[in-house]
Amino acid sequence: MSKIITRMGDGFSVEMDEQELMQDIEDGVIDAAERAEIPVLSDDEQKHLLEICKSTCTISGVEKGYEVIMTYDGGSNKIGRLGINTGRLQVLQTYERCFGADTTELSDLDYSFKQAKHIVRENVPLMEQAQLLMVAPVFYGSMPNLGLYTQPDGPVLNPAELLPQGKIKEAREAYAEAIEHSVRDMVYVSSALYEAGADGINFDTVGASGDPDFKATLLAVQELKKKYPAMCVEIGMAGEFILGMHGEVTHNDVRLAGLYPHEQVKVAQEAGVDIFGPAINTDPTESIPWNIARAVTFTKACVEAAKIPIHANLGMGVGGLPLCYTPPIDAVSMASKAHLEITRLDGL
């Protein structure tokens, strides 16, 4: 049987025959289905995935009609990372006019609401200017990043130090206090940028500090939607599973720890979120077909559970893409095609 060149989750090439590739797809699907207790992909969907993953093309593309909307996280930081010295307004224009971006995002290098609070007066006039220049929607984006509220970076006792000492009650109290600080900062910064004309706010990498991080974001979204009912709110998750750093945090009687994407989206849309971004982790020790199959299975269940648009996170190390700085375009486009054609999501 002829060999197919594909990749591992760390980005490096590997040769497999068709039977091995199909086995990886089946295993990836089952891994997701068992973890989240969701349906497996149908036989036809798995065969379609096999055809996508067998591609020898440098770039894969979707059939006409499957095109979706692109949203971005940390958008105006990424050109600077390439060593290209330019201002953020020029970056936004580059996204709109050179990259064909459907939406753009103004953001700060220190991509956390706590840090953004101190420089909000710098960002407000920039957002106002951006809105004069741009045709595509301009979001403001940042992360809840609850960890920044704990000592030594913030005012709250550090749960990571309290928990090993067996001080569980104190750790939970510290999380509760951090949530209060975080909600206040998120509402303050988001309000200022929305008042400056932002088309939406993107809460990115939500849940990075576990269930209290997700809780803080949900509370901030609720408060913002009460204040500005027309505000478009997107949240992108940090990972596929809400870590139980606190363990007993609930939202509307739903325990947040342990939620998978198809459950996360229900809580998010109830809080008022308009666009939800599931983030499925890549396992670098497994093949890309295994990782794509797994990500697509999780995301399909999420799309089916959602009433709001789903924009899956497909970037380095999430969404079936390799965990490396420059994910190869064959893997990026293959994972994108698989998500669009099988999950029928709304955006990436």
Give the binding site for another protein (CB under 8 A).
64-65, 67-69, 97, 131-135, 138, 194-199, 230-231, 309, 345-347
Long-range own/partner contacts, residues 5-8 (CB < 8 A, 24 or more apart) = 5/56, 6/53, 6/287, 6/288, 6/289, 7/287, 7/288, 7/322, 7/328, 7/330, 7/331, 8/284, 8/285, 8/286, 8/287, 8/288, 8/322
Find where tokens 């951090």 sit.
178
Closer to another protein at the Cβ: 60 or 150? 60
Query: CB of 88: closest distance to another protein in angstroms?
Result: 16
DSSP summary character for residue 199:
S
Q: How far is the CB of 346 from another protein (least distance, A)?
A: 4
* CB-facing half-sphere around the CA of 95: CA atoms within 13 A: 31
Nearer to another protein, 108 or 346 (CB): 346
Between 154 and 261, whose beta carbon lies closer to another protein?
261
Name the β-bridge partners of 13.
7
From the CB of 199, what's the least distance to another protein, in Å? 6
Smallest separation (angstroms) from another protein to the CB of 50: 26
Nearer to another protein, 120 or 249 (CB): 120
Tokens standing for residue 80: 């600077």
Q: How far apart are CA 289 and CA 270, in angstroms?
A: 34
Nearer to another protein, 37 or 67 (CB): 67
Nearest distance from C-beta of residue 222 to another protein, angstroms: 19
* Least distance in angstroms from the C-beta of 301 to another protein: 16
Give CA–CA dist 145/147, Å, rounded: 5
Q: Which is nearer to another protein, 7 or 337 (CB)?
A: 337
Q: By the 8 A CB rule, do 320 and 296 touch?
A: yes
